[in-house]
Structure 1
Amino acid sequence: MRIKIISLGALAALLLTGCTMIPEYSRPDAPVPDQWPTGPAYDGTVSGRQAPPAADLQWRQFFTGKRLSRIIETALANNRDLRVAALNVERARAFYRIQRAELLPRIDAVGSGYAERVPADLSSTGNSRTIEEYRADIGTTAWEIDFFGRIRSLEKQAMEEYLATEYARRSAQILLIAETANAYLTLAADRENLQLARSTLEAQEESHHLIQRRFDVGLAPKIDLWQVRQRVDAARLDVARYTELTAQDENALNLLVGTPVAAHLLPEGLSSVTPPPDISPGISSEVLLRRPDILQAESLLKAANANIGAARAALFPRISLTTAVGTASDELSGLFKSGSGTWMFSPGITMPVFDPRIWSALDVSKAERELTLARYEGAIQAAFKEIADALATKGTVGHQLDAQRSLVEATSETYRLSNSRYEKGIDTYLSVLDAQRSLYAAQQGLITTRLAEASNKVRLYAVLGGSSD
């Protein structure tokens, strides 16, 4: 019995290292240019080669602000969507183990007893008698010997699907980090806009009181009073609107983090946020192949390729083995006595002769591979566009920021001069209102552009496949 079990294990080990009918896999050529786009929008985006690649930069090295780092850590621990992604990995890993176990025989120990009374008229001896049989066996039942690699192909498919879920978890983690950071930056920008709206409201209320006094003594026309009242109401409207937006921003951040964020961790404004460092996209576009979502798509392509091997193997005979060794006796007390040993060896073979479903299954597996290949290539093209868009913003947002700062300075000086001319009676109050309106819009635009610059750094980190560790 020991020799048979050893031989069975040796046969199983041999089959585990056997061949399969899986088509040879080679990574498809990326359907995108080898280099990043060039042109006026991309000037300087690739020249900063001293900056580290995103994939080699841990998120704690990229998001260095203490408040934001603590919020991201909490999000990684509590976010429900990320938890679902991690549980999907565990489920895929367990399924892979089940599929791999199909390569090994299942050894069962079985004990049975049987007793039957045979009446005299049915007995061959003419006398009634009792038939008893007791057995104790150990063996395997209908174990498929994987000569043609069907089970190993399915095992390969399950392994690649497991890897795909792991890459999906990493992708979800990077996305969560980026979304949390962007929600934090958006809250900071809206809080700064709220501060600007409040200061503008205070200035307009002071102007309203001044115009009211001038009107009362006959030094200002009534239209000036109503014009400044319009700006007061517009500022009040903005204060209410940004109060609403900041509350909604906090709710969005709390949802991502999975728990209410402590007030002392929230930003006062964009100026209080430590800006992320510059990162390099590299010279070659091959860097996008390191993104977890691209690796996920490639693993699914490999899984579809392995499924073709399983479909091919189904065209060939299936060989199964049922075997057992044990003891048997007509008395329970004699079950383990000398000479009661038994064994059973029953190989079987099933040869498909006519089953159109097998050929159709092979066609389906090939079609699924082509579908998965198209999705893989589409994911690469979408990733290339995302990175190119982020690089275009990186190459131009600095110029936008310089122009916006200059615009704020110019409109601020225009407002000062208009106000001075009005106080001297040289100009109407309408010019002051126009200058103040332009200044307020320019200040809002500066906050928006600063947010775009910071958010684009976060986006570039995510689309370049920044590390999730």
Structure 2
Amino acid sequence: MPLARRRLLPVLAALFVTGCAITEPIARPQIELPAAWAESATSSTDASTDAIHADWWQSFGSAQLDALVAEAMSTAPDLRIQAERVAQAELALRQAGASLFPALNLSGGSGTRNVDGNESGSTDLSLGASYELDLWGRIAAGVDASRASLAATLYDYDAARLSMSASVASTWFQALALQERVAIAHQNLAIAERVLRVVQARYDNGAASALELSQQRSTVLNQRKAIEPLEVQLRQTRSALAILLGRNPQASFAADQRLDGLQVPEIGAGLPSELLLRRPDIAASEARLDAAAANIAAARAALLPGISLSAGAGVGSTALLSLADTTRTLSLSASLLQQIFDGGRLRTEVELQRSRQRELLETHRRTLLVALKEVEDALSDSARDARQEAAQREILAEAQRSLRLAELRYREGADGLLTVLDAQRALFAAQDQLAQLRLARLGNAVNLYKALGGGWQGARARVPPA
């Protein structure tokens, strides 16, 4: 036996040294990136995205928004769910890496037997070790796949943080816009009621008809009816914001911020080629391609023979619950296993992993194309809505002037009530439209920050403890 062991060990060592690990090239899609963005009217493409900070929401100049985003980063249920997925991926990597080490087993037992009245006892204690030589890199490839999956999960967590901050900012802006639209609706109701009093006074003096009085009453009623739906939307938007933060849906928020008090930042879009390094979702997609290549390598290595080593040592005794007068055993063995027939299961696994790689490759291609489109759309929307808001402010100024003149001419009897009604409708619509355009500009800025990666530089954000 000692001679056999001496002959066996060099053979195994030679196999271990000459074993060639199977590798698989990592697939990447070939996409021709544009040299510049098609739409750059409001954002300078010459400006580098290095100017975008990780705390991009601070560029809106609102302490309330800063506090809400900070709260979401620590208490949002969606982020806590993603943090648990990171923890699970870390544990999966640790579990896969454990296969690279030998397995040790300790067993012991004691018992008695009675055969034809003759009673005998035995006690034994044994230690066994087993180890699979990873000649073809199957186990190492599995570890690489788990490591790439962990990286993808970490990038997913970064993407979730970016999405959460953008969702909080957008939802809060919507709440502010609805709050302002409710205030505008109440102001317009006050204007309509003021005109109604003028019409009522003229009617009482015989200077206005009953039709004019009825028309203005309808305007008041319609304006009063328009308030309730806006108030309902405001409550629902605030409850949605509370859910994002992990609060009770009935939670209240400060109501002293106005849309006009928020800054609309100028954002440098950089170059399209920089986008590939700026977005965590693209990094996550690339990491999944790495994992796919490692899974193919592991499936290919499983087709080749495997060699495992095992060793054991034990002591035994014929006494019950005692190791006196023991006998000792020592064993060392090596085994070679090659699958001869499995119905094509292993080869099918290789093809399955290749199909999954092709699927991930197309998914990654789509991710890149969607990212480019999101930036173009955000740039285009920002340029359009900036021009629309400037024009709407002029429209609002003219609508206010028209209503003042219409009321004055109606009081003097120079024009009928129809002119006042038209002026009122124009003013109400202009005020509401301006609030919505201001919201759109703020939302476009959030979308552009998100599309550009929100200042992400490839470093993993800190994961809260699970």
Do Structure 1 and Structure 2 share a fold, with TM-score over 0.5?
yes
Q: Aligned residue for 2:25? A: 24
Q: Aligned residue for 2:259? A: 270
Structure 2 residue identity aligned to 1:212: Q
Q: Distance in 2 between matches of 1:15 and 1:231?
A: 90
Q: Aligned match of 2:129 in 128, 140, 144?
A: 140
Q: Taking structure 1 as the reference length, what is the TM-score of the superposition? A: 0.87
Matching of residues 285-296 of structure 1 within 5 Å: 285-296=273-284
Offset at residue 416 of structure 1 (A)? 2.1
Matching of residues 5-20 of structure 1 within 5 Å: 20=21
Identity of aligned residues (%): 31
Q: Aligned residue for 1:318? A: 306
Matching of residues 200-349 of structure 1 within 5 Å: 200-260=188-248, 263=252, 265-272=254-261, 274-275=262-263, 277-331=265-319, 335=323, 340-349=327-336
Contact residue 304 and residue 338 of structure 2 kept, 8 A: yes
Deviations 1:311-344 (A, max 9, x none): 100110011222112433434698477x844211
Q: Aligned match of 1:43 in 38, 41, 44?
A: 41
Q: Aligned residue for 1:351? A: 338
- For the pair 1:458 / 2:458, whether they are aligned, the reply is no
Matching of residues 152-163 of structure 1 within 5 Å: 152-163=140-151
1:336–1:347 CA distance, 2 compared to 1 (3 A):
farther
Q: Aligned residue for 2:79? A: 82
Contact residue 194 and residue 239 of structure 1 kept, 8 A: yes
Structure 2 residue identity aligned to 1:108: N
Contact residue 28 and residue 361 of structure 2 kept, 8 A: no
Offset at residue 207 of structure 1 (A)? 0.9
Q: Aligned residue for 1:389? A: 377
Offset at residue 174 of structure 1 (A)? 1.0
Matching of residues 166-205 of structure 1 within 5 Å: 166-205=154-193
More displaced stretch, 177-186 vs 426-435: 426-435
SS, match of residue 21 in structure 1: coil
Contact residue 136 and residue 301 of structure 2 kept, 8 A: yes
Offset at residue 50 of structure 1 (A)? 6.7
SS, match of residue 105 in structure 2: strand
1:377–1:160 CA distance, 2 compared to 1 (3 A):
same
Q: Distance in 2 between matches of 1:230 and 1:456?
A: 37
More displaced stretch, 371-380 vs 346-355: 346-355
Q: Distance in 1 between matches of 2:285 and 2:113?
A: 62
Q: Distance in 1 between matches of 2:43 and 2:455?
A: 20
Q: Aligned residue for 2:464? A: none
1:192–1:420 CA distance, 2 compared to 1 (3 A):
same
Deviations 1:404-431 (A, max 9, x none): 1111112222222222222222211101
SS, match of residue 353 in structure 1: coil
Structure 1 residue identity aligned to 2:34: D
Aligned CA RMSD, in angstroms, stands at 2.8
1:131–1:349 CA distance, 2 compared to 1 (3 A):
farther
Contact residue 113 and residue 133 of structure 1 kept, 8 A: yes
Q: Aligned match of 1:448 in 419, 436, 441?
A: 436
Offset at residue 459 of structure 1 (A)? 1.2
Contact residue 188 and residue 269 of structure 1 kept, 8 A: yes
1:282–1:19 CA distance, 2 compared to 1 (3 A):
farther
Matched residues, number? 444
Q: Distance in 1 between matches of 2:222 and 2:79?
A: 42
- For the pair 1:34 / 2:31, whether they are aligned, the reply is no
Contact residue 42 and residue 394 of structure 1 kept, 8 A: no
Offset at residue 139 of structure 1 (A)? 2.5
Contact residue 311 and residue 362 of structure 1 kept, 8 A: yes
SS, match of residue 320 in structure 1: strand
Contact residue 23 and residue 308 of structure 1 kept, 8 A: yes
Offset at residue 28 of structure 1 (A)? 3.3
Offset at residue 196 of structure 1 (A)? 0.6
Offset at residue 395 of structure 1 (A)? 2.3
Offset at residue 264 of structure 1 (A)? 5.6
Structure 2 residue identity aligned to 1:449: L
Structure 2 unaligned spans of 5+: 462-466
Structure 1 unaligned spans of 5+: 120-127
Offset at residue 391 of structure 1 (A)? 1.0
Offset at residue 118 of structure 1 (A)? 4.5
Offset at residue 256 of structure 1 (A)? 0.9
Offset at residue 284 of structure 1 (A)? 3.0
- For the pair 1:103 / 2:100, whether they are aligned, the reply is yes
Q: Distance in 1 between matches of 2:209 and 2:32?
A: 66
Structure 2 residue identity aligned to 1:42: S
Q: Distance in 2 between matches of 1:168 and 1:332?
A: 59
Structure 2 residue identity aligned to 1:35: A
Structure 2 residue identity aligned to 1:270: L
Q: Distance in 2 between matches of 1:334 and 1:237?
A: 93
Structure 2 residue identity aligned to 1:296: A
Q: Distance in 2 between matches of 1:234 and 1:333?
A: 95
Q: Which runs of 4+ in 1 moved over 6 A?
A: none
Q: Distance in 2 between matches of 1:148 and 1:336?
A: 46
Q: Distance in 1 between matches of 2:132 and 2:300?
A: 16
1:59–1:115 CA distance, 2 compared to 1 (3 A):
farther
Contact residue 107 and residue 125 of structure 2 kept, 8 A: yes
Contact residue 325 and residue 343 of structure 1 kept, 8 A: yes
Offset at residue 27 of structure 1 (A)? 3.9
